[in-house]
Amino acid sequence: MRTMQTAKNIIEVNNLCKTFKIHKRATGFKGALKDIFHPTYEWKKAVDNVSFSIHEGEMVGFIGPNGAGKSTTIKMLSGILYPDSGDMQVAGYVPYKQRKEYVANIGVVFGQKSQISWDLSPLDSYEVIRHIYRIPPKQYKENLARYTELLDMGSFIRQPVRQLSLGQRMRADIAAALLHSPKIVFFDEPTIGIDVVGKDKIRKFIRTLNQTDNITMIFTTHDMQDIVKTCERLIIIDDGQKLYDGSLENVKKGYGSSRIIEAEFESLPISLDLSHAVVSDADNSGLKKRIAFSTDEVSVNEMMSALMNTHNIKDVSIREPEIDAIIRDIYEGRIVMN
């Protein structure tokens, strides 16, 4: 782990709030008519008093269910939206006040919205980007050569983007966001819709870049594997509020003490009277049971012997919960974060 104490904060966010006025649409024809003359609005707190800080070179996963407020937070951090209240300092700037100077320091990759033209080759689009960012020729040449190699773009960099695969397009888009050597890069769902091999290439590249260039990176994604494979730190946001902020390891350790034993028994009847465990049917036969418990209360060893002492077991498997399941539990309030 990097030296957390000495690293300096590149992002500081305090009590950030953003509320949207949402037009509540009525249903049906009558409702639609009524809507025109008496529209009803409701206020939605998209981001509600969120604070955090991120050091230089850190890689942070920013996750939450749809509509949780993560995009809004990222948009405020990147200077697109004005916050209603709260303070923000990113790379020494206040993004919404000093937008023009500030954004020269960041790169943003939207998985769903390319910044390179559909009808041009990546190289043609990079030329325009070079002018927009006023990238010095030497830096441009070096970066271009480096990212072409690292992202393996040599074979398609001169082809129109419309002929590229989604994975290739995404790699070209990532390079586009890096040509001006940003200090911070925001990735918004950078692997969405891409196949497993493509996802892996992208994650590997991002990890490498973070290590070699010490670029601060913020991820938003729905794919927990993006986070597991790249980030050390996780911020979970839901309903506009921060639910968790800490290491990924901690989430797994603190909330991952539950185990599931799936056992197939030789014969009926099965009478399991286990305290500290929840038993359910794993299939229709009645012979396969799922036994969930926490290792804080009873060890795997004890549980196994309790089962084997009373029944004949044909097959057995023990599973740890996956990170996706833990996160789902956190969203749904089954695990309360402190």
Residue with Cβ nearer other proteins (104 or 337)? 104
- Residue 29, phi then psi, degrees to nearest 5: -65, -45
Binding mask 31-60 for other proteins (x = CB under 8 A): -------------x-x--------------
Taking residue 262's Cβ as centre, other Cβ atoms within 10 Å add up to 16
Strand stretches in the chain, DSSP E: 9-24, 40-55, 59-63, 85-90, 106-110, 184-188, 216-220, 233-238, 241-247, 258-265, 277-281, 288-294, 313-319
Residue type for position 83: P
Smallest distance from other proteins to CB 4, Å: 29
For residue 283, the tally of other CB atoms under 10 A from its CB is: 11
Q: Could you say which of 60, 63, 75, 178 contacts other proteins (CB under 8 A)? A: 75
- A 10 A CB-CB count for 147 gives 23
Task: Based on the shown chain and the rule CB under 8 A, indicate whether residue 97 belongs to the binding site for other proteins.
Answer: no
User: In three state form, how does the secondary structure of 90-142 look?
Assistant: ECCECCCCCHHHHHHHEEEEECCECCCCCCCCHHHHHHHHHHHCCCCHHHHHH
Nearer CB in complex with other proteins: 104/228: 104
**Residue 247 main-chain phi, psi, to 5 deg:** -80, 155
- Across the strands, what pairs with 264? 288, 315
Shortest distance, position 133 Cβ to other proteins, whole Å: 6
Candidates 27-35, 68-76, 282-290, 324-332; binding stretch for other proteins (CB under 8 A)? 68-76
Is residue 100 a contact point for other proteins (CB under 8 A)? yes
Token pair for residue 307? 């089962």
State yes or no: residue 27 binds other proteins (CB under 8 A): no
Select from 16, 59, 108, 179 the one that contacts other proteins (CB under 8 A): 108
Q: Which of 9, 89, 117, 247 binds other proteins (CB under 8 A)?
A: 117
- Residue number, 101 or 152, with CB nearest to other proteins: 101
Contact yes or no for 263/306 (Cβ under 8 A): no
The answer to the question of residue 220 lying near other proteins (CB under 8 A) is no
Instruction: Provide, rounded to whole angstroms, the least separation between the CB of residue 129 and other proteins.
Output: 8
Two structure tokens written together for 323 = 């990170």
By the rule CB under 8 A, 119 interacts with other proteins: yes
Cβ–Cβ under 8 Å, residues 24 and 40: yes
Q: Does residue 20 interact with other proteins by CB under 8 A? A: yes
- Annotate each residue in 223-242 with x if it binds other proteins (CB under 8 A) or - if it does not, as one string: --------------------
Which of 78, 168, 210, 220 touches other proteins by CB under 8 A?
Answer: 78
**Residue range at the interface with other proteins (CB under 8 A); choices 26-34, 66-74, 141-149, 281-289:** 66-74
Tell me which stretch binds other proteins (CB under 8 A): 98-106, 215-223, 283-291, 303-311: 98-106
Task: Name which of 2 and 99 has its Cβ closer to other proteins.
Answer: 99
User: Between residue 121 and residue 160, which ones bind other proteins under the rule CB under 8 A?
Assistant: 124-125, 127-128, 130-134, 160
CA dihedral 139, 140, 143, 147 (to 10 degrees): 180
- Quick one: residue 240, left, alpha or beta (phi over 0 = left, psi -120 to 50 = alpha)? left
If binding is defined by CB under 8 A, does position 308 make contact with other proteins? no
List Cα–Cα distances, 231 to 97, 163, 215, 218, 279, in angstroms.
30, 32, 13, 9, 35
Instruction: State yes or no: residue 87 binds other proteins (CB under 8 A).
Output: no
Instruction: Tell the smallest beta-carbon distance from residue 72 to other proteins (Å).
Output: 5
Contacting positions for other proteins (CB under 8 A): 20, 44, 46, 66-69, 71-72, 75, 78-82, 96, 99-101, 103-104, 106, 108, 110, 113, 115, 117-120, 124-125, 127-128, 130-134, 160
